[in-house]
Structure 1
Amino acid sequence: METSLARDLMSDEEWAFHERFILAIRAPNGRKPTNHRLVLDGIFWIASTGSPWRDLPDEFGRWSSVYRQFRRWTLAGLWEGMLEALNANGLAPDALQMIDSTVVRAHHQAAGAKGGLRDRVLAVRAVDSRPRSISVSTARACP
């Protein structure tokens, strides 16, 4: 018997927490809402696996629809609201704290600072441009 990837990814308590944020930003007019729980599970599946959007299993819906809803929620500020509520309520353990690589700065030498790359290129040129002829002493040693 095959098990479903989409089943039981999010507990009912977790969904109750997330649902209020989704309903708060949802426009009152427009199309009938999709299964937001399944879409959110799909987004969390992508985040936890690191897979490309196109590899999202069909059980979560069309990848393009899930991605489009992810973008809408991102532009509406859904994720920031959820994270602020998690932090304010103390629901996010310290082990889940993350850093964003876009703000992590490397040491200036890691960026190829002055002289680093140039010295290596010059060293390669020096090795590459050694004389290719055989010296007289080597020629005498080899009959």
Structure 2
Amino acid sequence: MGRGDLTNAEWGRLESFLPRGGARGGRWSDHRRVINGVLYRVRTGVQWRDLPERFGPWETVYKRHRRWSADGTWKMLLSLVQAAEDAVGGIDWDVSVDSTAVRAHQHAAGARKTPPASIAQKGAAPGTNQVDPAAEVARPAGGGGQIGECLGRSRGGFTTKVHLVADGRCRPIAFILTPGHYGDGPQFERVMEQISVPRTGVGRPRTRPDHVLADKAYTSRRNRCYLRRRGIQHTIPERLDQQRHRRNRGSRGGRPTGFDSERYKKRNTVERAINRLKNFRSVATRYEKRAYIYLGTVTLASLLIWLRT
């Protein structure tokens, strides 16, 4: 076993959930060896062609990662691991929300406008399921980039933004991708709607945390109304301009928003979750042209964090 490969305990948690048959009824190559090859690439950021020979043909490793990113296998494995943790009370449901910009390598540009027929036939919609269609119409002036593949121009250059929710133990629970020039506040509802931890027994998936912490980027009235409508307590500071506007309106401005400064100190958990994700070089820098493949890379990195925390 090489450094960074799945341990026997980690493999035992995943083995029973992996697909049994291959394409056209054939047999898959050894799952453990291929997954270790994908993990090696996610951890080191090397080109697929430079994978060590012990992982087998690089084409097999790449195609397996692409297929499982498209059909949701990585997401399914992450959900099952989260469900097992929740069943034993291992998830701290005081969650934090934030985003991080990821610099896109020059190789991430140049994707075809239409996905390959082989991917379209599998039911995948690369890129389109990660960007709000309404936001594509109301595209910011001078944004540039490939909106459908979650690439845009921001202060950091050619970037993709990862919006995520982390639990109180610094583990990503849910995340979405947007182009790098998209704001944080308008994506709050979308990333919160991605929270869905299945039950191990009977019952619907858990979608509502106990408490939400976020910074001033998420302090809009719309986001607060959304949380109140769902009955979710929150700790979000109010911007100074909003405080002035409320005071200027007098009694019509409403009551001040509640803010617990001591509880707000726990918001650093999402920052630490982002640091854990960016320890994987293929997450810290985007090399994939297709958004759905990069999302699969982020999902696999999150899965490994859950297995090893």
Q: What is the CA-CA distance between 1:29 and the residue it aligns to?
A: 5.6
Amino acid at match of 1:46: R
CA distance in 1, matches of 2:53, 2:172: 31
Asked if the contact 2:51/2:58 (under 8 Å) is kept, the reply is: yes
Q: What is the CA-CA distance between 1:104 and the residue it aligns to?
A: 5.8
Tell me which residue corresponds to 1:110: none
Asked if the contact 1:39/1:60 (under 8 Å) is kept, the reply is: yes
Match of 1:66 among 45, 61, 67: 61
Aligned residues, how many?
102
Tell me which residue corresponds to 2:18: 22
Q: What is the CA-CA distance between 1:82 and the residue it aligns to?
A: 1.1
Amino acid at match of 1:14: E
What stretches of structure 2 of length at least 5 have no aligned partner? 92-166, 184-309
Q: After the TM superposition, which of the residue ranges 37-46 and 88-97 deviates more from structure 2?
A: 88-97
CA distance in 1, matches of 2:22, 2:53: 26
What stretches of structure 1 of length at least 5 have no aligned partner? 108-143
Asked if the contact 1:9/1:41 (under 8 Å) is kept, the reply is: yes
Correspondences of 1:41-120 after superposition (within 5 Å): 41-90=36-85, 94-97=169-172, 102=178, 105=181
CA distance in 2, matches of 1:30, 1:51: 32
Q: Deviations over 1:8-67 (max 9, x none)?
A: 82111211222122136x459622321110000001111111222122111101111110
Q: Deviations over 1:82-136 (max 9, x none)?
A: 11112222278833428666366566xxxxxxxxxxxxxxxxxxxxxxxxxxxxx
Which has the higher relative contact order, 1 or 2, with Cα contacts under 8 A spaced 6 or more apart?
2
Higher percent of residues as strand? 2
Partner-residue secondary structure (3-state), 1:23: coil
Higher percent of residues as helix? 1
Question: Does residue 111 of structure 2 align to residue 36 of structure 1?
Answer: no
Asked if the contact 1:21/1:78 (under 8 Å) is kept, the reply is: no
Tell me the TM-score normalized by structure 1: 0.56
Tell me which residue corresponds to 1:11: 7
Asked if the contact 2:33/2:55 (under 8 Å) is kept, the reply is: yes
Computing the radius of gyration from Cα coordinates, the structure with the larger value is 1
Alignment CA distance shift 1:60-1:28 (3 Å): closer
Partner-residue secondary structure (3-state), 1:95: coil
Alignment CA distance shift 1:29-1:102 (3 Å): same
